[in-house]
Structure 1
Amino acid sequence: MNDGIAADPAVRTPTAAPSRRFLLVRRTAAAGAALLVAAAAALAWGEWRGWPWLAGWSEGWLSGRLGRELRWRPPEAPSGSAPGWRLSLIGPLRLQAADLAVADPAGAAAARPPAPEGLPAGWTLHARDLDLRLRWRDLLAWRRGEPLRIEQVGIGRIAARLQREADGRANWLLERAADAPARPRPAVQIGTLWLREGRVAIDDRPLALQADAMFSLDDRGVKLRSGGRWRQQPLSLALETGSPLPWIAAGAAAPVGFALSLEAGATLLRAQGRVRDLLGLRGLDTGFTLSGPSLARVGEPLGLTLPTTASFRAQGRILREPAEASPWRLQLAQARIGRSELSGDFVLDTAAARPQLGGTLRGRALWLADLGPAIGVPAQAAERQAAASDGRILPDRRFDLPSLDRMDAALTVSLDRLELGEAFARPIAPLQARLRLQHAVLSIDELAARVGSGGQITGSIGLDARGAQARWTTALRATGVPLEDWLRQTRASGAGPWISGRLSGDLLMKGQGRSTAELLASADGRLRLGITQGRMSQLALEAAGIDVAQALGLLLVGDRGLPLRCAVADLQVRDGTATPRVMLVDTPDSLVVVDGALSLATEQLMLRARVRPHDFSPLSLRTPIDVRGTLARPKVSLDTRGLVQRLLPSALLALVTPAAALLPLLDPGDGGSDAGCRDLALRLSAASDRRGAGR
């Protein structure tokens, strides 16, 4: 046996290697456990402290994303002061901050008072007592593309100052690189939302708006009250809504109810309905009532061109689809403007480069006087009297020409009747037209109106406001207008109209200026009128001719209508002065011829009417009648020289015998004829042409 042979030292025991591996594993496990304990301790320490060291990092990161300073401290706190900030990462993610302040962007204009208390100049927003909670699984789901669900957003108080300059710069707008793609608004769902108190000071130069608003909100709704001034007029606003949570969730299908009351100066708007997107005003369906001193005051802040009118009250419905860039739809159930009653359906497209208004304007009645302010005529009687106190009646208030370039429009006008004023017994009924506004060129064409039984008025009117002065063109034609139906001719019971017959004619006119008075003062054109199948009061004719005997006789036995053998007027208008080429009325009794001039520039009247009898009259002065003065104060007088030429011989003969005094007043007449009237019209026209050529 080899008991004495020694063991081989190269041969190891089988337990050596496993023992060392165990030690390595144990040491690794111990190190991992130590790291876990350290991490847990650090996490516990961070949770206990609220992770204050992340506040500074988040300030820098958020400031870079927003392009302006953001801090978790009050605006007036010194730099480096400790933020009232606490973050919890265990369980639901929760952020609590005593303050959040957001500064104005770089280059913003100097702050203008007033500002909410505690918000110094240079800062846009200061929020206090923020509380934000969300779950980690909701955050992970949002990373996968699902809507971001936030369990709670709570704010104790907000103070903000919103300021916009005339050039469009606003302190609430975030800067974005020109090449940065537009990102859709993220879908957000909030479980609980509340704001106990908010105050916002607004100074908007483009809207001429200065306001101070107080508001609060929670899951049940929003309440807002605001006061201030808009375009130098007092402003008051009250808004109450249902829960605002659907508005925050992008693409929400559920609309939210609201009630709005807005008073700006004398304009009052009340609306009640539902809207899906409050800020974008999309998915809107609301009824409204609107009243105010003029439609133009409503259009100004909206960038719309609406006419200056008398006071109005309107009610209807406003609709807008939820889709982006959807047009506005207005169903105007009723609008009372002065005495006018209008309605209509309109579509306003604000997504185009220029706002586009289309639709149909209907009306039971439109009084022309209610649109008088659009051409400078004061709406109130006292203002009209004051405007005429200087002896002028043509409106000289300048047009707002730039307003015609704010939008384009294409409207169909359909009126049951157009009331022209107190001088007319019957309205124009009905009236159809097309109204177009294209790059500051306004046109009313395809005009077709019926007057009385069988009368028609057609034509077009245009106003080009592209230059410093507006250019006006008019082309109107009247056919068969019955004067006895159209003109108001008040007479004693049983007496016929002063004048009757079918009026036809045409008006071609153009001018330029910045007011109605300037347009007429520069007018060039022609007005031609004629009456067929007509009759004229013999009493009016004899009175015009100062035929005392026949006028007295008619007063005793009654007036009668004389047939008009011809009645024509042809007026030439040059540089605002209207001169009759021909203006005459001929009956079997007398011929009346009018000449002279009417200046639309100075409103001076320089007209003379001569009456030539066709029959015998025993007591006739037959002297010309002069119409002088102005349109506001016309003065009618007898030509004293012609009157003396008749009365002086009569007075001298009266010295011989009283009966002889009547001899100069006897008028044998000229026994006129139809052919004589037509020949005279031709002679007068030719003479006028010669005078015009001589000038």
Structure 2
Amino acid sequence: MKTSKPVKIAGAILLGLVVIVILFFLLFDWNMLRPYINRKVSETTGREFAIRGDLDVKFQRNQDSEEGWRRWVPHPRVSAEDVHMSNPDWSTVGPEMASAQRVEGAFRILPLLGKNAILTDLRLVAPNVAVERRKDGRNSWTFKDNGPSEWKVDIQRLSFNSGQLRYVDEPIGLDLRAQAKSIEGAPAPRDGVQPYGLAFTLDGTYNKAKISGGGRAGAVLSLTDEHTTFPIEAKADIGDNKIGLQGTIRDPRSIAGFELQMQLGGASMADLYALTGVLLPETPPYSTSGHLMGKKNGEYWSFTYRDFKGKVGASDIGGTLTYAQRATRPLLIGNVASQQLRLADLGPTVGADTGTGTKAAGKVKAPAEGKALPVDQFNTEKWGALDAEVKFSGKRIVRTHDIPLSDIETTIRMKDKVLTLTPLSFGMAGGRITSNIRLDGTDKTLDASARIAARGLKIRELFPKLQSMQASFGEVNGDGALAGRGNSVAAMLGTSQGELNAVVTEGTVSRFILELAGLNVANAVFVKIFGDKQTLLHCVAAQTTVRNGRANIDRFVLDSEEAVVNATGYVDLAKEQLDVDVRPRTKGTRVLSLRTPLYARGSFTDPKVGPHVGPLALKGGAAVALAAVTPVAALIPLINVDRAPDTNCGAEIAAATKKPSMKPAPKVGDAAPASTAGKTNAAAPAKSGNKGELHPKAATVQ
């Protein structure tokens, strides 16, 4: 089929036009357009823009950045030398927002007809960028608002070599400087994996903490595919913290997410506040390693530290934490677990020193001479920095006391400057203690309250070093409710209000212990010579009322087959003094019995324990007087024939297992304590139906 003459003519004309256009692009002096371009961009952006060097346009094929047939189609490639863009007048980072020795960009022609600028390849030579964000929300990279633009700009591939960056972000306290240099002889991408093409150094400050470090990164950002990754590797010191990152940034078009391997360590976890805004206690040196993932949702980021493992002093930690930015304040959620937790590693949080050689050593304020309760202050100024809900579990708890703790579980919540541990539960002495703790930091003085339930504590495990108690059995169950005000443990206990109750419904106790408590000398010697035996324990019931830091013993009775023991007195938590009388009464005849009340009095740091002198002197004087008549008669005052009546255990236990009440501690200037806060409760033990005895097996604290 022959081509018609008009078609041949049209084709020749079209070809001629193409040749003319190409010749125009090749021969035209583009520098003639620089004044127009500089003026037009300056007017549009509201910033001074200038191309001070050569401006040129050439046709090239972009085989590296194009796919399919487009790889063989030449595209215009614009190059501009010595390009500058100014910062706004208010900027403090320098007069220029960006400059480059050379800017090159290839674009497609046809999309320009639809006001769509598709830059298939943009290359920057020696870029220098200085940008800033102010506390009032202004930033230097937002240009003059001319309304919605009719043009759309799509950058598909960005590459750069040696350059400099300064970024100041006032809202987060960041002033970062970075210098990058091209890595000579960097390999080409292989199997879609981009090699490192830039080496960089970092310095500056973050929340007044000094930054220093460096690393490597890719030199090419491919922005056409959401599955594209950009490699990065960095190490930096931020204050006393050391951080290492290695991995990839996904979807570099919007930097909407990343996944990096992160190592984090330092002298104390308290130093992380400047880095993360998360308030943590003073600790010994720590180190962690895990996966750091970031995701952007709208204008807010969330960061997840997933499957991390590490050490804090001699304790191990691991878990997953997520830190989410919000309009009000950030939220920290997650789970943390420890196989072995050393309480001293929590440092001043629990009133313990972390030991010499650590940053937190000696930071715990010691009580005044003659005082024992912790006086170190809780710092609540930063409690409003974030909200939190973190679940914590610990398998084994290492501490200096003889009674081990295990299987700790709690959920730590912080909201509106109110810290709660609900519930805080842990194993102790073969049983379990469950509590709800609340610290309200909205005022300068903390409001503290706690409800406690102890279930199934084994008597013999409560006295692990007392040999006479190792054959004893029985369980202690108790409930307590306390409220106080103050910024230290000592202040909270010194103002506390509430009740503490405890019962033992059945069990055995060492006969030697009971004889010794009653100062029945002959029986105690007999037991030690011929062997100790266990005597049946009918019940133990204790009830204490706490008012203004003074715990008054309202009821204490121990009833066994051998004796009845009662106790009265008080323990003053405000003055750290105690005055308690213990009055044993035997249930049978005792020879050489010095039966007399015992006392425990004095300060917490120097308590005095012993028998009351008056009754002993009376018995001793009577024995001496009768000895003048006959030596045998001297034994008469030392023979006890009084038999103590059995205790109504059912009534005593019923009274001691009532729900404890909690009265809030009075504020300064209050005439009297506020009314009882009856909104929380501890589950009462269930009745067994046997002599009114109670056998609590579990506790629920609300």
* TM-score when normalising by structure 1: 0.72
For the 8 Å contact 1:441–1:463, the answer to whether it is kept is yes
Q: Any idea what SS the aligned residue of 2:242 has?
A: strand
**Aligned match for 2:437, one of 461, 483, 490:** 461
Distance verdict in 2 for CA 1:163–1:683, change over 3 Å? closer
Q: Pick the aligned partner of 2:643 from 671, 675, 679.
A: 671
Which of the residues 214, 239, 261 maps onto 2:215? 239
Stretch of structure 1 that moved more, 378-387 or 129-138: 378-387
For 1:440, the aligned partner's letter is K
Q: Which amino acid aligns with 1:263?
A: D
Counterpart of 2:488 (choices 484, 505, 515) is: 515
Give the SS at the match of 1:668.
coil
Q: Per-residue deviation at 1:570?
A: 0.7
After the TM superposition, which residues 273-672 of structure 1 pair with which residues of structure 2 at under 5 Å, given as runs? Answer: 273-276=247-250, 282-306=256-280, 311-320=285-294, 327-350=302-325, 353-371=328-346, 373-380=348-355, 383=362, 387-388=366-367, 390-413=369-392, 415=393, 417=395, 419=397, 421-423=399-401, 425-429=403-407, 434-445=411-422, 455-458=431-434, 460-485=436-461, 487=462, 489-491=464-466, 496-497=469-470, 500-650=473-623, 664=637, 666-668=638-640, 670-672=642-644
Whole-angstrom CA distance in 1 between matches of 2:198 and 2:175 = 22
In structure 2, the partner of 1:149 is 120
Partner of 1:301, secondary structure, is helix
Q: Displacement, 1:204? A: 6.0
Secondary structure class of the residue paired with 1:215 = strand
Alignment CA distance shift 1:627-1:280 (3 Å) = farther
CA contact (8 A) 2:397 2:404 kept: yes
One-letter code aligned to 1:559: D
**Which fold has the larger relative contact order, with Cα–Cα distance below 8 Å and residues 6 or more apart in sequence?**
2
User: What does 1:61-76 align with in structure 2 at a 5 Å threshold?
Assistant: 70=48
CA contact (8 A) 1:215 1:222 kept: yes
User: Residue 155 of structure 2: which of 171, 188, 202 is its match?
Assistant: 188
2:164 aligns with one of 174, 188, 198: 198
Report the CA distance between 1:667 and its aligned residue: 4.2
The change in CA–CA distance for 1:198 and 1:448 in structure 2 (over 3 A counts) is closer
1:239–1:550: structure 2 CA closer, same or farther, 3 Å change rule?
Answer: farther
2:351–2:364 contact (8 Å) kept in structure 1: no
Structure 2: give runs of 5+ residues left out of the alignment: 1-19, 60-76, 187-195, 662-672, 674-702
CA–CA distance in 1 between the matches of 2:649 and 2:147?
Answer: 83
Whole-Å Cα distance in 2 between the matches of residues 661 and 124 of structure 1? 108
Q: Which amino acid counterpart does residue 464 of structure 2 have in structure 1?
A: Q
- Preserved CA contact (<8 Å) 2:158 2:220: no
CA deviations 1:355-413 (Å, max 9, x no partner) are 34444444445455544643554433763886246444433333343544333444555
**Higher alpha-carbon Rg:** 1
Task: For residue 187 of structure 1, give the secondary structure of its aligned residue in structure 2.
Answer: strand
* Equivalent residues of 1:588, 1:672 under 8 A apart: no
CA shift, 1:254, in A, is 1.1
Q: Secondary structure at the match of 2:569?
A: strand
Please state whether the residue corresponding to 1:297 is helix, strand or coil.
helix
**Partner Cα separation in structure 1 for residue 78 and residue 322 of structure 2:** 48
In 1, Cα distance between equivalents of 2:140 and 2:627 = 98
Tell me the SS of whatever aligns to 1:565. strand
Deviation at 1:264, TM superposition (A): 3.1
| Equivalent residue number for residue 257 of structure 1 | 231
Which one-letter code corresponds to 2:228 in the other structure? Answer: A
Deviating more after overlay: 342-351 vs 203-212: 203-212
Determine helix, strand or coil for the equivalent of 1:245: strand
Instruction: Report the alpha carbon displacement of residue 524 of structure 1 after superposing the two structures with TM.
Output: 1.6
Q: CA deviation at 1:222?
A: 3.1
Q: Which structure: greater helix fraction?
A: 1
**Secondary structure, aligned partner of 1:564:** strand
CA shift digits 1:160-208 (9 cap, x unpaired): 5x6766x45677454665x96699994324465212x5364x7766555
The corresponding residue for 2:687 is: none
Segments of 5+ residues of structure 1 without an aligned counterpart are: 1-35, 73-82, 112-120, 690-694
Give the secondary structure class of the aligned counterpart of 2:125.
strand
Letter in 1 for 2:465: T
Instruction: Give, in whole Å, the separation in 1 of the partners of 2:585 and 2:200.
Output: 79
Give distance in 2, aligned partners of 1:544 and 1:182: 93
- Measured in 1, the distance between the counterparts of 2:635 and 2:521 equals 12
How far off is 1:618 after superposition? 3.7
Preserved CA contact (<8 Å) 1:138 1:149:
no
Give the TM-score of the pair, scaled to structure 2.
0.71
CA RMSD of aligned residues (A): 4.6
What is the distance in 2 between the residues matched to 1:483 and 1:286?
A: 52
Q: Which shows bigger deviation, 540-549 or 443-452?
A: 443-452
Partners of 1:651 and 1:517 lie apart in 2 by 49
Q: Which amino acid aligns with 1:154?
A: V
Are the counterparts in 2 of residues 124 and 171 from structure 1 also a CA contact under 8 Å?
Answer: no
Aligned equivalents of 2:656 and 2:480: distance in 1? 20
Residue identity matched to 2:417: A
Q: How far did 1:526 drift?
A: 1.0
Q: State the secondary structure of the residue aligned to 2:492.
A: helix
Aligned to 1:20: none
Q: Share of identical aligned residues, percent?
A: 23
AA at the equivalent of 2:104: R
Q: In structure 2, do the counterparts of structure 1 residues 583 and 211 end up closer, same or farther at CA, with 3 Å as the change threshold?
A: farther
SS of residue matched to 1:152: strand
| Correspondent of 2:56 among 82, 88, 92 | 88
Instruction: Give the stretch that moved more between structures: 236-245 or 387-396.
Output: 387-396
Q: Which amino acid aligns with 2:125?
A: G
TM-superposed CA distance for 1:434, in Å, is: 4.8
Work out the CA distance in 1 between the residues paired with 2:278 and 2:590. 66
- Seen in structure 2, the aligned counterparts of structure 1 residues 419 and 154 have a Cα distance that, compared at 3 Å, is same
* Distance of aligned partners of 1:126 and 1:189 in 2 relative to their CA distance in 1, 3 Å threshold: closer
